[in-house]
């Protein structure tokens, strides 16, 4: 039996991943952004070990969230599933910390949680094929000078988190750290017309969290390892992303 934490597990693919892990006999900690969503998460994944609450648009809440998980640790795996897509949005959404919201949830949060928590044997970061369209401007990562594009911000964030997953594999050789594209999943984010079921989308993240998959530093799509965007495996880009996250959060990753 493995102990696994799944972020963003109140609905969608996060909830499906949690359900599948529980059905497999594993001990699962849920996560929701507030108390109301926590109740939804608990009702949606019966048998979970508990639920921790924290809004990933707040650096202070991310820190408190990391502290709240200690009562359930150590973890064998952490699945960084939580994410946000501001599709079609042209007005920059800003958090209380002054960060662009997509960056805060999709990049800063998994980075800071990883930095603050003991490194588990497995790290799984949810990515997307949209990471291939990413063209991050690391001189303007918060979209303060450019015209805002919510879809572009999402692609950029997923390229950065894919690079984070690969970088961590190099920093922690004993940890299997991978990025996963679950496909265009029928969820609140993906919409009812998406071609991939929640069950199918959850298969690879679950396998990477508790299965025998030996890969690390890889990008999975369709259940198989595929080449990621070239920048995801570029040491210079990885270092730049880590430096940006360290600057924004005030916390460094330790090797």
Sign (positive or negative) of CA dihedral 133, 139, 143, 147: negative
Non-local CB neighbours of 104 within 8 Å, separated by 6+ positions: 56, 57, 59, 95, 97
Confirm whether 154 is a catalytic residue: yes
Q: Which listed residue (111, 125, 148, 154) is catalytic?
A: 154
Largest CA distance in the chain: 49
Of the candidates 85, 170, 101, the residue with the CA atom closest to the CA atom of residue 133: 85
How many Å apart are CA 62 and CA 116, to the nearest integer?
A: 10
Which H or E element spans position 235?
A: helix 235-249
How many Å apart are CA 120 and CA 48, to the nearest integer?
A: 19
User: DSSP secondary structure string, 80-149?
Assistant: E------TT--S--B-TTS-BHHHIIIIIHHHHHHHHS---SEEEEE--GGGGG----TTSTT-SSSPP-
Confirm whether 247 is a catalytic residue: no
Q: Which listed residue (148, 158, 219, 247) is catalytic?
A: 158
How many Å apart are CA 77 and CA 176, to the nearest integer?
A: 9
Which DSSP symbol is given to 71? Answer: G
The residues that are catalytic are: 154, 158
């Amino acid at each position: 039996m493995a102990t696994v934490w799944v972020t963003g597990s109140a609905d969608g693919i996060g909830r499906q991943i949690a359900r599948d892990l529980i059905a497999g006999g594993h001990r699962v900690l849920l996560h929701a952004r507030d108390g109301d969503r926590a109740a939804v998460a608990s009702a949606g994944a019966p048998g979970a070990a508990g639920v921790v609450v924290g809004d990933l648009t707040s650096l202070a809440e991310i820190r408190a969230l990391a502290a709240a998980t200690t009562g359930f640790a150590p973890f064998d795996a952490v699945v960084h599933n939580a994410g946000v897509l501001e599709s079609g949005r042209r007005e920059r959404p800003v958090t209380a910390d002054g960060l662009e919201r997509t960056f805060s949830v999709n990049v800063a949060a998994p980075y800071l949680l990883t930095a603050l928590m003991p490194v588990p044997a497995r790290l799984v970061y949810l990515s997307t094929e949209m990471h291939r369209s990413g063209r991050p401007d690391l001189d303007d990562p918060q979209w303060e000078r450019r015209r805002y594009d919510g879809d572009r911000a999402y692609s950029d964030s997923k390229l950065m988190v894919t690079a984070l997953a690969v970088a961590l594999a190099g920093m922690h050789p004993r940890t299997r750290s991978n990025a996963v594209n679950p496909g265009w999943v029928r969820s609140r984010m993906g919409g009812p017309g998406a071609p991939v079921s929640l069950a199918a989308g959850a298969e690879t993240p679950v396998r990477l969290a508790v299965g025998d998959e030996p890969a690390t530093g890889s990008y999975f799509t369709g259940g198989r390892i595929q080449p990621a965007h070239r920048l995801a495996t570029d040491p210079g880009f990885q270092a730049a992303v880590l430096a940006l996250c360290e600057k924004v959060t005030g916390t460094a990753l330790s090797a």
